[in-house]
Structure 1
Amino acid sequence: MKIRFAAATAIAIIVLCVIVFTMPPSESYQDPDTFWHIEVGNHILQDGKVPHTAVHTFYGDDKLPYVPHEMGFQIVIASLYKAFGWAGTYLLSAVCLLLLSLGLYRMMLVSRKELGFDSRGREPLLMLMLLPVIWGIYEIYFTTRPQMISAFLIVWFFVFLREFQMKQAVRYMILMPLISLLIANFHSGVWPVIIVFMGMALLESLFTRKLFNRRVGWKWLTVLLTVGGAGLLNVAGAKGVLFILTVTQDNFNLMINEWKAIQFNSMGNLTATLMLLTFVALLPFSIHKRFFRFEFMLGIFFLGVSNYKYHLFMWLFVLYFAAVVIEDVPGLRRFRLRLGSAPLIAGLVLGLAVNTVYNFQHTPQPNSFKYPVKEMDYIMETFKGPGRPKVMTLYGTSGYVMFRGADVLADGRQDPFITDETKTALGWTAFEQTINGFPVYVTDLVKANKPDFIIVTRKNASSRFYSTWVKDYGPAVKTGDFGYVFRTSPEGAGE
């Protein structure tokens, strides 16, 4: 038995290590938001204060109101980049993946405990279920954005909330407000999610009449007040934790792909479709006539089918339901092999450590075909000032352009750029101009916003539009992997 246990442990560690090591970190550097997060973080570190207006824009650094809702993440990611470059940012990805994996595993144990299932000997099966989920989350959602941090914080909050329902220990009354504080300062846009989770648990307590117990009732009241109060302790206050109301104003967010409804009938969304089908298939075997499981299922299903952004929650919580399904699988009912959590932790740590070392030795760089790398090299070398060059480009690449040292018409923050103050060409806001203006209305945008340079993609530079730009601005001053650079002002020539 000892030999069997040792062999199983070794195999589990090796499998986990190999799987984690084969998760390539290169794509985590290719998200457009990563660049402006780093630049805003640099701005905070240099000035020593959090900006409440958009920085590095055509309008100046003190004109457009901005709700700072990801300040903690921006400081951390900027500090890591400053210290270690792109390889340093992967350190955050590795730590977040480790904490998320441990949280998901703990969540499975809690789910089983709620229904009275013993998890001893079930560890290998739980680990096998965990692996494809963490792989999917890493591949799809770990793109060096605040959601890496908020994902594991939300999962751990949920774990402590469910454990608090079973035992109203003081430690949970401390840990949940602490996590609320962290979410509010690292990614406050998702903070309402934990409030919804608490509301579901509160309804469960009312349904089961546990809330009418005086000892339970006052502890619940304390948790509600402290979790809510902790969330308000962020630099933007109530506006920060209610940022979802700002970002969805007038449905401008629906112009961005990740906010659009998922087309589950498209082969491009096959992974999301498979996750949805898996989630639905698990439900008949995982609800067990429990009120909380039923309402929680409704909530996760709603989020999972809403859009790409919210679909993450289906990945995060599918294991809560899957963990108990193995009891209904005939071939697995009698399977027992006790391993504990040590192989899981060892495999994850070893795999991530090797991946991190490799990443420092062979650090991927931003893709020059996806972002104007060579084009910005030229602009920053030739522009002589004063100040930063004004560069007009597509919405998806403006964050990179700002990161490289230019001012932009609009970047990934969205909310400062949907205001009336930014309306110029065609009566569009700056956000609409960068989304819809290329390539048809480039000349109108240039006349209205007076940039020093414009960067257009090779795809956008069709013969008809290209000839118009050459006529108006002269030949392209730089041709790179991404596209073309046109100089549109004397300042752009450094004269």
Structure 2
Amino acid sequence: MNKTNINYRNNLLLFSIAFFSFTLSSPPLFLDPDVAWHIAAGDYIIKSKSIPFYDPWSYVGLEQQWYNISWLWDMLCSFLNQLVGFHGLSILLTVFLSLICTYCYQSLVSRKYPISHDATMISLALTSLLFIEIGCLRPQLTSCVMITFFMNKLHNFCYLNDEKALNKLPFATLIWTNSHGGFLILYALLAVFMAIAVYEKNKVAIKKIIKISVICSLTTLVNPISYKIYIGSLRTLNSVVIDYINEWRPFFFGQSYSFSMLFLVLIMAGCAFHTHYTELRIKNSDWLIGLAFLIASLLSVRNFSNLATSGAPFIAGIVDRSLPTSKFTIKLKNSHKALISILLIIVSISIHAFLVITKNDKKIGLNRVPVELIQYTADNYPGSRIINNYNLGGYIILFGNGKIKHLIDGRAGTAFNESILNEFVDIINRKTSVLETAVKHNVDGVIIHEMVFKQESESQKKNWNIVYNSKKYYLLIKNK
């Protein structure tokens, strides 16, 4: 049996295990409310055959240009949703997460580091555990794949003398730039390999990395908003609202079981390595990039997905040097690998089929979203201006079919100016109330959670009628 067939069977087995695991435990499709507006944005682009430069849904949308960096991802989500629906999208998400884990495994194995199988599997288990908790249909997944892809190609160029590997980076840059603002990370990756080339005094590598860096930089300008894509990306990073969004907050132990477990393993393995060993069995590039993503993850938990995927060699390297070799290894025959893979895929598909047939919404995740309230508002108060909860904005866009003009949603700094975002922050900090903001904006209605409504003053409540309630949300319409 040649190595290609062995790798194929190993990849298939790993994919099958991941597919089965994510089928049982992956998060719902709408784990994050941003998924809704991504689908809606794709619908708008496909229907209008153009990319809007100003927000067509919010009543404050004309106050700032909308930097829709993820338009390509949005179109893909919209197309797939129209093709297979929400249940189909949830299945495709499960497949995509499984492919990411398989790709991480393949990229790690292809480096041919003298790392134990145990360390590799622990690294992948941590990656899978993280995606079980946070994996949802957002363009961040594109960055996870692209960072790993860039690392692989640059690794092959620098350490395996594969000059053709660099030729694929411009096209990858084109896709990445038009899918997610995380494309800025490509400069950090190129800088790491440039630093290594300079340290090793490899003049040929230095020239080629400079050349590909220039080409990739120019490629980033091939997008609907040209150089303004950098403005849009920086608006995301510098927006006042970042401090109030969980995924942008610094790490603290216990806030997430997958983040905490990954961090704990690295701390324990790092201590053991520091005590007993003097060197890692990985290249400097993987060590530097992994360390950088670890620091970035501590500053913002949003980066843990990048650490778990692109930092897999770093994690495996540390774990490998701190764990004893297993005395009782399990070796499967190739025929057994194929049989297990087929059985796991059949069982996984059967589970998905059962959920679709029984119309079980467990994998959709709309059980806490007041979809009926939003649709009621759109049908009975079309064109109305509504003050809304930040996390409901995306759902209002998608399920309101553009009939409702809302205030704010998850696009934050890429679609709304600082004045609007500061008003949202003032509501969070209770410097002003929701109903006071509604009066200031002279809106027609408010979609408000019942707990927030109870905290509003009685004098303000008198100006509004509760006309509909669903899933702990009220629709308030102004008294005439």
Taking structure 2 as the reference length, the TM-score comes to 0.83
Kindly state the Cα deviation for residue 305 of structure 1 after the two structures are TM-superposed: 0.4
**Of 444, 448, 452, which residue of structure 2 is paired with 1:460?**
452
AA aligned to 1:76 is L
Decide whether aligned partners of structure 1 residues 72 and 137 sit closer, same or farther in structure 2, where only a CA change above 3 A counts.
farther
In the other structure, the counterpart of 2:473 is 483
In the other structure, the counterpart of 2:93 is 93
Could you say what secondary structure the match of 1:378 adopts? helix
Distance 1:403 1:232 in 2: 30
Distance 2:152 2:384 in 1: 49
Distance 1:354 1:186 in 2: 32
Kindly state the Cα deviation for residue 364 of structure 1 after the two structures are TM-superposed: 1.8
In the other structure, the counterpart of 1:360 is 356
Kindly state the Cα deviation for residue 468 of structure 1 after the two structures are TM-superposed: 3.6
Could you say what secondary structure the match of 1:233 adopts? coil
Q: Does the 8 Å CA contact 1:282/1:321 hold for their aligned counterparts?
A: no
Please state if 1:403 is matched with 2:398: yes
Distance 2:215 2:15 in 1: 40
In the other structure, the counterpart of 2:70 is 70
In the other structure, the counterpart of 1:153 is 146
Higher mean alpha-carbon deviation, 127-136 vs 349-358, is at 349-358
Kindly state the Cα deviation for residue 149 of structure 1 after the two structures are TM-superposed: 2.4
Give the CA RMSD over aligned residues.
3.5
Q: Does the 8 Å CA contact 1:477/1:487 hold for their aligned counterparts?
A: yes
In the other structure, the counterpart of 1:237 is 226
Kindly state the Cα deviation for residue 183 of structure 1 after the two structures are TM-superposed: 0.9
Q: Does the 8 Å CA contact 2:37/2:397 hold for their aligned counterparts?
A: yes
Q: Does the 8 Å CA contact 1:231/1:241 hold for their aligned counterparts?
A: no
AA aligned to 1:277 is L
Residues 326-366 of structure 1, C-alpha deviations (whole Å, 9 max, x = no match): 46644338958487897698688667645554453345276
Could you say what secondary structure the match of 2:80 adopts? helix
In the other structure, the counterpart of 2:442 is 450
In the other structure, the counterpart of 1:413 is 411
In the other structure, the counterpart of 1:279 is 266
In the other structure, the counterpart of 1:184 is 177
Distance 1:245 1:256 in 2: 16
**Of 257, 262, 274, which residue of structure 1 is paired with 2:251?**
262
Q: Does the 8 Å CA contact 2:370/2:471 hold for their aligned counterparts?
A: yes
Distance 2:427 2:138 in 1: 22
Distance 1:409 1:160 in 2: 44
AA aligned to 2:302 is K
AA aligned to 1:448 is K
Q: Does the 8 Å CA contact 1:326/1:333 hold for their aligned counterparts?
A: no
In the other structure, the counterpart of 1:471 is 462
Decide whether aligned partners of structure 1 residues 347 and 326 sit closer, same or farther in structure 2, where only a CA change above 3 A counts.
farther
Kindly state the Cα deviation for residue 33 of structure 1 after the two structures are TM-superposed: 0.6
AA aligned to 1:472 is N
Distance 1:12 1:443 in 2: 53
Q: Unpaired runs of 5+ in structure 2?
A: none
Kindly state the Cα deviation for residue 278 of structure 1 after the two structures are TM-superposed: 1.4
Residues 112-160 of structure 1, C-alpha deviations (whole Å, 9 max, x = no match): x2x5x2x7xx66x466335523432322332211112221222122122
Q: Does the 8 Å CA contact 1:102/1:345 hold for their aligned counterparts?
A: no
Decide whether aligned partners of structure 1 residues 372 and 351 sit closer, same or farther in structure 2, where only a CA change above 3 A counts.
same
In the other structure, the counterpart of 2:160 is 167
Q: Does the 8 Å CA contact 1:262/1:307 hold for their aligned counterparts?
A: yes
Q: Indicate the percent of aligned positions where both proteins have the same amino acid.
A: 16
Q: Does the 8 Å CA contact 2:42/2:74 hold for their aligned counterparts?
A: yes
Could you say what secondary structure the match of 1:477 adopts? strand
Distance 1:435 1:489 in 2: 25
Q: Does the 8 Å CA contact 1:253/1:259 hold for their aligned counterparts?
A: yes
Residues 179-230 of structure 1, C-alpha deviations (whole Å, 9 max, x = no match): 211111111x1112122011101111111222x2x4x444333322232222
Kindly state the Cα deviation for residue 58 of structure 1 after the two structures are TM-superposed: 1.2
In the other structure, the counterpart of 1:441 is 433
Alignment of 1:40-439 (within 5 A): 40-59=41-60, 62-111=62-111, 113=112, 115=113, 117=114, 125=118, 128-129=121-122, 131-187=124-180, 189-210=181-202, 212=203, 214=204, 216-241=205-230, 243-249=232-238, 251-264=240-253, 267-283=254-270, 284=273, 287-288=280-281, 291-324=284-317, 325-326=319-320, 329-332=323-326, 337=331, 353-354=349-350, 356-361=352-357, 362-364=359-361, 370-383=368-381, 385=382, 388-405=383-400, 406-415=404-413, 418-419=416-417, 422=419, 429-432=422-425, 435-436=428-429
Residues 243-300 of structure 1, C-alpha deviations (whole Å, 9 max, x = no match): 4421233543222222121222xx3334322211212333436635954344324312
AA aligned to 1:479 is N
AA aligned to 2:384 is P
AA aligned to 2:256 is N
In the other structure, the counterpart of 2:25 is 23
Distance 1:364 1:392 in 2: 28
Residues 155-183 of structure 1, C-alpha deviations (whole Å, 9 max, x = no match): 12212221221223244122222221111
Kindly state the Cα deviation for residue 48 of structure 1 after the two structures are TM-superposed: 0.9
In the other structure, the counterpart of 1:493 is none
